[in-house]
Structures are given as structure tokens and as C-alpha cells.
Structure 1
């Protein structure tokens, strides 16, 4: 019964506060333990996209039926036997990949504010899984920058998987034919590089607890491009302060 009561208490706290220390405080702090768990949950998306892109770019663009291969009784200059086969040009349907990328984009954007965080199912799951571990409070601002990078990577991959849709949108918006609508105009190396970078960033955060995007944000703050609250304040252990205050109050009342 105690375990059930504890679970429902944790569930109630997650529904009320999510991964936030206090939804009403400014600046906003989130539990980095839950952030890493969430990154691990979402890690399967860039893994799947990496294999999809590798197959689309480097895989065979033809489907060959081995049962139709016929020996022509001839050889090429290197002595290789020449076969006549029936081959079909592969067609790619990226509907699943598109929906997964749209969901990943939604997750990146949802975590950026207190209100939209309540729309993310992975935030609820990660927050609940993190309840049994001591929280590590980190400011939301650097994480928001990191997720902005992720959202940008995802948007580029969406364009790669749906070039004609994006081309029609751009052409209709500008009134000119700026992009072709019948061919892939984005170089293959762009989405392939970005998906592996994204995979690496998420793996590092999940396994090592190191947020590359946050470090980039920190560098931009140092050079004056961004501004944020005092970094020294980010390392304050508010829970420890609260415990010490409670102990002092108890000693004084005793």
C-alpha cells in the first residue's frame, strides 16, 4: 500500500509541476535528470532516421528479381558473365519518416515553455521516471537554445524528405519558381550529416549528461550575443538550503 501511495503522490506531483522546480518562478529551472531520460526516449528517432537516410542515399535504387536473371552467354572485358534481368526502379514513401519528424519537432518546441510542456507525453514519462532520483536543477534558457538547434535540424530533414511540398510552398509564397518541384535539390550530405550530429548530441546528453547545445549557448553568452542570469546562481542547491533552514527552525523552536 505504501508503494501505491508513493506512486500516486509522485504522479500528482508530476501532473502539477512536471519536470519544473516551480512552474511560477522566474527564471524557470528544470530537472536535468528528467531531461536526460527524455533525450534517451527520443533517441530512437534519429537512429531510425540515420538508417533511413543511409539506405536512401547509399542503398540500391533498383529492385532486381533474381528469378528473372538470364545468362546472355556473353562476358564483359573483365571476363564477368553478363546477365539480362528485370529491374524495377525503387520508389520511396517517406510518410512514416515525415510523421516521426513532425512529432520530434513538436517535442523540441513543446519543452521550451512551461505551458507547452504540458502537451508533451515524453515530459510526463521522463518526469515520473526521474522521481526516485535526486533532482539536478538547471536553467531552462540553455536547454531552450539546444532544442532550437534540434528543431532546426529536424526542419532541414523534413525538407529533404518532402522537397516538392516545400518547393511548392516557397514558389507559391514568392510567386516565382525558385525551387524545382520534380527533383531533389538538397545535397544528400546535408541531412545525413545533421542526423548524425543530432544523434551524437542526444547520445552524449543521455549517457554522459553533457549538453552540447547548452555549452554553445554558454559560449554565446560569454561573447555577448546572448544574456542570461548569473551563472554562479545556476549552481545553487535550493533543496539543501531549504533543508538547512528547516533544521534551523526546528532547533530554534525546540
Structure 2
């Protein structure tokens, strides 16, 4: 347990390159999958849920019917307004988790990293470099940030306009495209691929950038390196020395 708290999912937090346990990464992806699923239900409710709130105490028969013979009732109804305060907090937490996984010191602030490392402690460790995973989490952070702005357009517009000293964004209307919330379902797909199939979309982006020469470093995750064997040899050399 102490070793888990000390190293979390890192093989050696001070080593270069930094390697993390992909088994724990997949467990964590399964945990965080709850966030886009929750946001998906929110969008479903907003799109297909009731848009009117009816005061049941005011419903009464008008003693009249329409042309089809349907009884006409009268009631006080108000247009439903949506409060995304809880969803905003959930998205901010998701953004924190995406950023926390990118660096060693911030990883120690993440409850899901600690829990996933603990759950994976007795399973076979699959050591993968951290750098490709940063692309995956950066992609997730970008989509979460867009969703945050979509659900809080006025607040974000006020911040931008205050910083700029002039009106750059309207603070009374939605200026983002309505396809933005669909990114929630993209997040569900990406995290499901990571948690269930071990397929990391961000890692593939890193691999492509290496192939294109954008990154000069090699893609260590593509070389099928046996890090356990390397660690064993180093331990043997240290013992012989």
C-alpha cells in the first residue's frame, strides 16, 4: 500500500522516460467514463425532456371541447429553465483529472489515479510511456473546455470581454454551434475504447506526429519494449556491482 502511495502508477517517478502502468490507466478510464455518460443523460433530458412545468393545482376543465371532441383543460404553465450548475462542477472536475494525469506532481492530487493504482497493484503491470497519454488527456481537456463554454456562454463571454476591454463575444446569446455537445458522445467512445479495448486515440495521434517528423523522439509505445526485463537487468547489474 505504501509503495502505491509513493509511486502511484509510475514505474519510477524520477526515471526518464516516465513510464506508467497501462493497466491502471484503463481502470481509471473506466472510472472517468461516468462523467461523459452523465453529461450524455443531461443532454438527452434537455433535448427530449419536458420543456414546460405545469402547476397541477391550477388544472381545471373548461367544460369545452375542440373540433375533434377532445376535452380542453386550462392550467398555469411556465417555460422550463435549465440550471447546469452541477454539470459545470462535474465538467471542472473532469478537466482537473485530465490535466492532473499529465505530470508526476499533479498526479498525486488525483483521487482516481490513486484508486486505480491501488486496484491494479496485484495485476500484471503493462509499462507504457507517459508522453502519448498526454495527447489523449489533452484531447479530453479540449473537449471538456468546449463543453464548459457551451453550458456557460454568458460567464465565459463576460470573462473574455473584461480581459479584452471591449465586447468580443455576445453575453445574451449562444455563440457556439449546437453540435458542440455531441463531443460528449465522442468522449464516451474514446474512453470506452481505452477502458475496454486498450485502444488509445491520443496515443495514435502521437504515433502519427512521430511518423510525420513533428516529434523527433521515437514512439516508445510502438516498439513493444519489455520494460520489466530491462528493470530486471538493471537490478542484476546493480547487485553485481
Partner of residue 65, structure 2: 74
Partner of residue 143, structure 2: 153
- Counterparts of 1:20 and 1:242 in 2: how far apart (Å)? 13
1:117 matched to 2:107: yes
Aligned-pair CA distance for 1:13: 1.0
- Counterparts of 1:205 and 1:232 in 2: how far apart (Å)? 15
Partner of residue 97, structure 2: 107
Alignment gaps of 5+ in structure 1: 1-10
| 1:235 alignment partner, SS class | coil
Q: TM-score, normalised by structure 2?
A: 0.89
1:126 matched to 2:116: yes
Measured on the aligned residues, the alpha-carbon RMSD in Å equals 2.4
Partner of residue 171, structure 2: 181
Give the conservation status (yes or no) of the 8 Å contact 2:207–2:219.
Answer: no
Structure 2 counterpart of 1:206, from 195, 209, 213 = 195
- Counterparts of 1:158 and 1:136 in 2: how far apart (Å)? 34
Q: Structure 1 248/227 Cα, relative in aligned 2: closer, same or farther at 3 Å?
A: closer
Partner of residue 3, structure 1: none
| 1:33 alignment partner, SS class | helix
| 1:91 alignment partner, SS class | coil
Aligned-pair CA distance for 1:30: 0.5
Q: TM-score, normalised by structure 1?
A: 0.85
Give the conservation status (yes or no) of the 8 Å contact 1:160–1:186.
Answer: yes
Partner of residue 7, structure 1: none
| 1:185 alignment partner, SS class | coil
Aligned-pair CA distance for 1:95: 1.5
Alignment gaps of 5+ in structure 2: none
Give the conservation status (yes or no) of the 8 Å contact 2:209–2:215.
Answer: yes
Structure 1 residues 218-237: aligned runs within 5 Å: 218-231=207-220, 234-237=223-226
- Counterparts of 2:12 and 2:141 in 1: how far apart (Å)? 26
Aligned-pair CA distance for 1:215: 1.1
**1:83-137, CA deviations, whole angstroms, 9 ceiling, x for partnerless residues?**
3321112122211111111111111001101111111111111011101111001
Aligned-pair CA distance for 1:28: 0.9
Structure 1 runs, 4 residues or longer, greater than 3 Å off? 65-72, 78-83, 230-234, 241-250
Give the conservation status (yes or no) of the 8 Å contact 1:57–1:188.
Answer: no
1:94 matched to 2:84: yes
- Counterparts of 1:140 and 1:106 in 2: how far apart (Å)? 17
- Counterparts of 1:206 and 1:108 in 2: how far apart (Å)? 15
**1:131-162, CA deviations, whole angstroms, 9 ceiling, x for partnerless residues?**
11110011111100100000001101111121
- Counterparts of 2:207 and 2:222 in 1: how far apart (Å)? 14
